[in-house]
Structure 1
Amino acid sequence: MWINGVAQAALPAGDRSVQFGDGCFTTARVMNGEIQFLDAHLQRLQRAVAVLRIEGVDWQALEREIVGAAQSEQEGVVKAILTRGQGGRGYSTAGCSGPTRIVSVSAYPAQYHKWRERGVKLALNPVMLSKNPLLAGIKHLNRLEQIMIRMHLDQTDANEALVVDTSGCLVECCAANLFWRKGNQVFTPDLSQSGVDGIMRQHLIRVIESASPWVLHQVCETPETLSDADEILICNALMPILPVTEACDRHYTGRHLYNFLHQSF
């Protein structure tokens, strides 16, 4: 792990990521020593920093550190965190020392290779996401909802969770975005009120909208909409896409959309 470019594992307790979850992050896949979708990951952080109004990020240093962390990895995961740094009285951001950069590298989740072949099972989760249009879409450091979702998921035999917001509309999974297909119509949840607009979600939307036989809709729908779906898939920057074989006690065998999108990598 590197903090502001220095190999170390200790972060000051006064850092606002510790005190308030004041920051953002992105998690990237490494293949053959290179970050996949590097530009998109940096753009994601830039968007989050703009929303959170974190000033003074050394973007060139961060990119060097991300690229450097990946160079020795054949397959792995690089995580980059930006915090507002130390300082500030209470919630006030006045007097902060400047952003903290944290970059770490870890092994690639082995289960994704297995799930890609056999598919995954989704279970409807009782934890609902709150609505907040200001923070919707970005990957900020406040992940308590996802922790609670994961705790419930771990009590089931499912691989991932189906998560709704407080109005009952589908949003995402615990750590992935969601797509489903009905005929030539493809649907993904509208994330204007909550959820994370993932790197892979953005990529798949571009592929579907630019050069495909499918028509894409971003919708607010309850889980019941999946009952007559022909196909479901989930995605994130690491998976990158996985077919769903079961959700809410219904089984799915279609892979037409999955096979088409898989060719885009």
Structure 2
Amino acid sequence: MFWLNGKPADSVSLSDRSFQYGDGCFTTMLTRGGCIQHWSRHIERMNACLDLLTIPRPDWHQVENWLQQAVKSDVKAGVKLHISRGEGGRGYSPTQVASPNVTISDFIYPPHYEQWVSRGLELGICRTRLGHNPLLAGHKHNNRLEQVLAKAELDKGGFADGIVLDICDNVVETTMANLFWVKDSSLFTPDLRNAGVNGVMRRVVLEQLGDLSLKASIGDFKLEDVLSADEVFVSNSVLGVAPITRIGSTSFDIGKITKRIQEMIDS
């Protein structure tokens, strides 16, 4: 189902600025036992993007109440929270715009995610490159055309997901998740200062590393760095952490560090 500002809806106005310009942001959340997982972190990431876009923050207590309409109490599922600047305005100008629109939708937990988490998944390598945009990098704003093009490319190749590089051939992420790899007992993940999305689960993983006596090396890396890894995994808020068993023609075992991180995330 869909809700617009807390009320059931099946459409939004043609003058909504998210439809017109992608003017807004969103986050996708896992729900379990009637609770939104990592809700406070989702609020933090939404506030950061809203502040950057100068969109007024909503009343989060009200939004949480609206979300309860979409949260299923008996099963693991997902909800998407989408905030638009609102309706109206002349051209690109954000002046003379009505109050923000909050859209909520629910969805079933993808059944294949369980298999990915336990058995791993294979990644393709996208030809589509991500441009550099330091102003918006890290944020999950509503302009996702690069990801749409990359995913369309993977669909044609028969891959569920794939690694995406930037215009300098640095590894950034996959089309749907953040990327990590382990080499010689050290953990690596790409710097997202120029492109990509700093996902909530990425932050959770990085916060857990102290308990494993690991430090993350965050920087600019090439595809060859990933392909030479001992183990590789991806993360997002709904999937959690899933091991990678193949990238192109290179195979990987499901490693001990990946399994330990999975256990810590699920505990």
- With the length of structure 2 as denominator, give the TM-score of the two structures: 0.96
The residue that corresponds to 1:177 in the other structure is: 178
The residue that corresponds to 1:230 in the other structure is: 230
**Per-residue deviation, 1:73:** 5.1
User: 8 Å contact 1:179–1:233 — kept in the other structure?
Assistant: yes
Distance of 2:190 and 2:140 partners within structure 1: 17
**Per-residue deviation, 1:30:** 1.0
Moved over 6 A (4+): none
How many aligned residue pairs are there?
264
User: 8 Å contact 1:120–1:158 — kept in the other structure?
Assistant: no
**5+ residue gaps in structure 2?**
none
**Per-residue deviation, 1:215:** 2.4
Equivalence map 1:43-192=2 (5 Å): 43-55=44-56, 57-72=58-73, 74-192=75-193
Matched residue SS, 1:103: strand
User: 8 Å contact 1:184–1:213 — kept in the other structure?
Assistant: no
Distance of 2:186 and 2:115 partners within structure 1: 28
Matched residue SS, 2:143: coil
User: 8 Å contact 2:35–2:73 — kept in the other structure?
Assistant: no
Q: Which amino acid aligns with 1:247?
A: I
**Per-residue deviation, 1:3:** 0.2
Distance of 1:71 and 1:228 partners within structure 2: 42
User: 8 Å contact 2:32–2:73 — kept in the other structure?
Assistant: no
Q: CA RMSD in A?
A: 1.2
- The reply to whether residue 240 of structure 1 matches residue 253 of structure 2 is no
User: 8 Å contact 1:132–1:193 — kept in the other structure?
Assistant: yes
| Offset from partner CA, 1:35-62 (integer Å, 9 cap, x none) | 1111111111111101111025232211
Q: Which amino acid aligns with 1:233?
A: F
Distance of 2:176 and 2:53 partners within structure 1: 22
Distance of 2:87 and 2:227 partners within structure 1: 49
**5+ residue gaps in structure 1?**
none
- Higher mean displacement: 247-256 or 2-11: 247-256
**Per-residue deviation, 1:228:** 1.8
The residue that corresponds to 2:11 in the other structure is: 10
Distance of 1:75 and 1:117 partners within structure 2: 16
| Offset from partner CA, 1:77-104 (integer Å, 9 cap, x none) | 1000000001110000010001000011
| Offset from partner CA, 1:200-225 (integer Å, 9 cap, x none) | 000000111x2113221001011011
Q: Which amino acid aligns with 2:139?
A: I
The residue that corresponds to 1:205 in the other structure is: 206
**Per-residue deviation, 1:72:** 4.0
- The reply to whether residue 31 of structure 1 matches residue 32 of structure 2 is yes
User: 8 Å contact 1:172–1:189 — kept in the other structure?
Assistant: yes
**Per-residue deviation, 1:117:** 2.1
